[in-house]
Structure 1
Amino acid sequence: MRQGTEFTVPPTYAPIPPAIHPRHAAVDAQTAAWAETFAIGSEELRGRLVRHDIGTFSARILPAGHEEVVALLSDFVLWLFGVDDGFCEEGALGRRPGDLTAALHRLLRVAQNPEAPMLLDDPLARGLRDLRRRVARYGTAGQTAAWVAALREYFFSVVWEASHRTAGTVPSLNDYTLMRLYDGATTVVFPLLEMGHGYELGAHERDRPDVRAAAEMASFVITWDNDLFSHHKESRGAGYYLNVLRVLQHEYAITLDQALALAIGQRDRVLCAFLRLWDSLLDDASPQLRQYLQSLASFIRGSQDWGITSLRYTTPEDPASLPTHFTDSPSDTSPDPLDIPAISWWWDLLPAGPPRTVHHPAPGRAPFAHGTTTA
């Protein structure tokens, strides 16, 4: 795990094939222009964000999606980094939970009612108004409402993190796991997975416990991977940082190397469970649910590919030791639930009996997939 004093992330389990939208370069350029148009973040922060290949990230999440929604997702992810980096991690509000709550609620009001005469000269608010109008253009009223509701969840979790940053405390593993499902901003992307393919998943399928579990499993793997790949960047900073490796060290009084091995085992066990649940859900899934499940898989793999290649995490000025490839073998294949109460219920929904051969999610398996290229 370490070479000398360097923190090295080993190759992680990647059973899902890679894919990327053929217009990824154009989307990346468009997002850089969008960031300048709305002056997202400070000039210095904006200059960093537009070099992080966020358009490529979006293109990996929606490799066969409508280009307009791929671009919308890319702009939205950059906007989220503007909030997370500018407001929370690097800004003064990140240590003032009360003031941060007020600021985020004002932004939430803009998302709820973009016509409200509030924050008219605020760059983040103007960018959010544009995003909200595009969400309404490409999504249904229900999807727009779901997007706003997920944004509220994300804001709520960001304030929770700010409270720990202010106090300099480390949460329990259970609390961290629960809040990471939201403060990683994965749930606020989920409505765009549907919009990207021009369908609306019915509530009778989206709200099923097993479908919710699959989405939460995807969030867990994505955010655990993000914590692995971002640890070098975050731990080099002068300020407070919150990361699963730090949480595991605090929870179990273990070394960083031990925490790294444990975190990889946790994400591998959840990913194996996701694959089993994914496969069983396909048995009676509608075409819309099939596409949604495929998009969750693409989100997982896209986050892996982007995480080890983006300048955001490779930090060439102080190079991070990240993997250059992945592995076909999980480090933990136990069928038992993780000892984390907030998520242990996922394993109750797995199909009975021994695991059958899982057909790993591939771009061509979903009936709505089209125009996908691998990379």
Structure 2
Amino acid sequence: MTKFELPPFYCPLPAPRPHPDEALLERRALDWLESLALFTDPVNRARSANTRSHELMARITPDAPADLVQFGVDWAYLAFAFDDLRTDTGPASTDTTSLRLWFEGLDYAATTLDTTGLPEDGFYTAIADLSARIKNATSPALWRRWLTDNKSTYWAGVWEAARPTTAHAVTFSGFLMIRPHLGLGPSTLTCAEVAAGLDVPEHERHDPLVRAITEAAWLLITLDDDLYSYPKEQWTAGHTDQVSPAQPIPISILMREHHITLAHAVHLLGQIRDRIMAKALTLAQRAAGRPYSSDTHIMIDTALHAVRSTLEWAQHAPRYTDPDGYHPGAIDLDWAGITHIPPATTDPLPYQAISWWWDV
């Protein structure tokens, strides 16, 4: 068993509430993926079930109608299957050209709602079906936003896959620019907007204050994942004849840049995310006094709530303790919990990718 100690996570927000239809949301999503032949063996279904994606997505908008929440639940289950069956394993996981072509197929299927002319692939069928359902249920603007969010993720995935072939080490600041898109931060919150039926005015969405808050939420969700998923990534690498995970890992980047131990890097990443959390809350307090539309205020609250909801979900998702579906309990995550104690300093962080948040 691998034991891994996590730092406390500063997140002084209310704990999420369960959605009343979580069991239905889970069953629908898993049955949908199985109907598309994406579960080639029983372990694949078990691995998908271990993500507990229905809890991840439904508790971000616990009062939303189940039929609208279902889109985000299906998307999360599908995205984790992408990760497990395509981008982490198989030919596309080690060949940048193959991965780019696969992403192009996903984008084509989602945009045209058609898989004609594409290689036979259950993932193409799945994303075309999901995209059609989202298009029929929401505004053209939100559907296009979801598609655009996904394009950013495809680009980030190709960037990640290409890193081992370059001679340039990834900087931590450079990683911060890409990380939200690698972790589907934007599309997760767009699905929450769809579920909540929000109609955020575009000029308010792109207001620098609103943008800083939503970007901070995207990054927090993904940096938190980098902490609690670290032992899973290391375990997987060690059991697939890799010396270390092929993709850039922020803890490893911090170890290299600061010449520090693993424990110190984990502590440092925890401090960084806490300072981002503190800044996001400060910005949200300012936004609360601005005459934005009610849907913009709800979007801001939803984005920050998603940070807390994701932290709660991760503590109970078997995905992070049973890394391949065959080894339950292989990883012992020692959670220090969620704290309301703010970081010792809220000074601006020295990373160009996010430093502008302190200038808003």
On whether the aligned pair clears a TM of 0.5, the verdict is yes
Deviation at 1:347, TM superposition (A): 0.8
Deviation at 1:272, TM superposition (A): 0.5
| Contact 2:91 2:98 survives alignment (8 Å) | no
What do residues 246-274 of structure 1 show as CA deviations (whole Å, max 9, x unaligned)? 11112211111110111000010000000
Amino acid at match of 1:304: L
Deviation at 1:321, TM superposition (A): 2.1
- Structure 1 position 39 matched with structure 2 position 37: yes
What do residues 231-251 of structure 1 show as CA deviations (whole Å, max 9, x unaligned)? 111111223423221111122
**What residue in structure 1 maps to residue 325 of structure 2?**
none
| Contact 1:229 1:322 survives alignment (8 Å) | no
The 1:277–1:333 alpha-carbon spacing in structure 2 relative to 1, beyond 3 Å, is farther
Relative to the length of structure 2, the TM-score reads 0.90
The 1:81–1:236 alpha-carbon spacing in structure 2 relative to 1, beyond 3 Å, is same
Secondary structure of 2:260's aligned partner = coil
**What residue in structure 2 maps to residue 254 of structure 1?**
260
Deviation at 1:120, TM superposition (A): 6.8
Residues 159-168 or 103-112, more deviating: 159-168
| Contact 1:248 1:259 survives alignment (8 Å) | yes
What do residues 306-345 of structure 1 show as CA deviations (whole Å, max 9, x unaligned)? 1111001133331322317322213x24232111111100
CA distance in 1, matches of 2:122, 2:275: 42
| Contact 1:181 1:220 survives alignment (8 Å) | yes
Give the alignment of 1:163-312 within 5 angstroms: 163-166=162-165, 170-238=169-237, 239=242, 240-241=244-245, 242-283=248-289, 284-312=291-319
Give the alignment of 1:33-72 within 5 angstroms: 33-40=31-38, 42-43=40-41, 44-72=43-71
Deviation at 1:154, TM superposition (A): 0.2
Amino acid at match of 1:13: Y
| Contact 1:94 1:162 survives alignment (8 Å) | yes
Residues 7-16 or 141-150, more deviating: 7-16
What do residues 338-358 of structure 1 show as CA deviations (whole Å, max 9, x unaligned)? 111111001111xxxxxxxxx
Secondary structure of 1:118's aligned partner = coil
CA distance in 2, matches of 1:318, 1:335: 37
| Contact 2:198 2:295 survives alignment (8 Å) | yes
Amino acid at match of 2:299: Y
CA distance in 1, matches of 2:85, 2:344: 39
**What residue in structure 2 maps to residue 313 of structure 1?**
320
Amino acid at match of 2:340: D
CA distance in 2, matches of 1:91, 1:45: 14
**What residue in structure 2 maps to residue 342 of structure 1?**
353
CA distance in 2, matches of 1:79, 1:147: 14
Structure 2 gaps of 5+ residues are 323-327
Relative to the length of structure 1, the TM-score reads 0.87
Amino acid at match of 2:226: D
The 1:168–1:323 alpha-carbon spacing in structure 2 relative to 1, beyond 3 Å, is farther
| Contact 2:58 2:69 survives alignment (8 Å) | yes
Give the alignment of 1:85-124 within 5 angstroms: 85-115=84-114, 117-119=116-118, 121-124=120-123
Give the alignment of 1:331-370 within 5 angstroms: 332-349=343-360
| Contact 2:171 2:253 survives alignment (8 Å) | yes
Structure 1 gaps of 5+ residues are 350-375
For residue 26 of structure 2, the aligned residue among 14, 25, 28 is 28
CA distance in 2, matches of 1:152, 1:59: 24
Deviation at 1:133, TM superposition (A): 0.9
The 1:333–1:288 alpha-carbon spacing in structure 2 relative to 1, beyond 3 Å, is farther
**What residue in structure 2 maps to residue 323 of structure 1?**
335
The 1:168–1:52 alpha-carbon spacing in structure 2 relative to 1, beyond 3 Å, is farther
Residues 257-266 or 12-21, more deviating: 12-21
Secondary structure of 1:321's aligned partner = strand
Secondary structure of 1:61's aligned partner = coil
For residue 10 of structure 2, the aligned residue among 9, 13, 28 is 13
The 1:168–1:79 alpha-carbon spacing in structure 2 relative to 1, beyond 3 Å, is farther
Deviation at 1:103, TM superposition (A): 1.2
Secondary structure of 1:39's aligned partner = coil
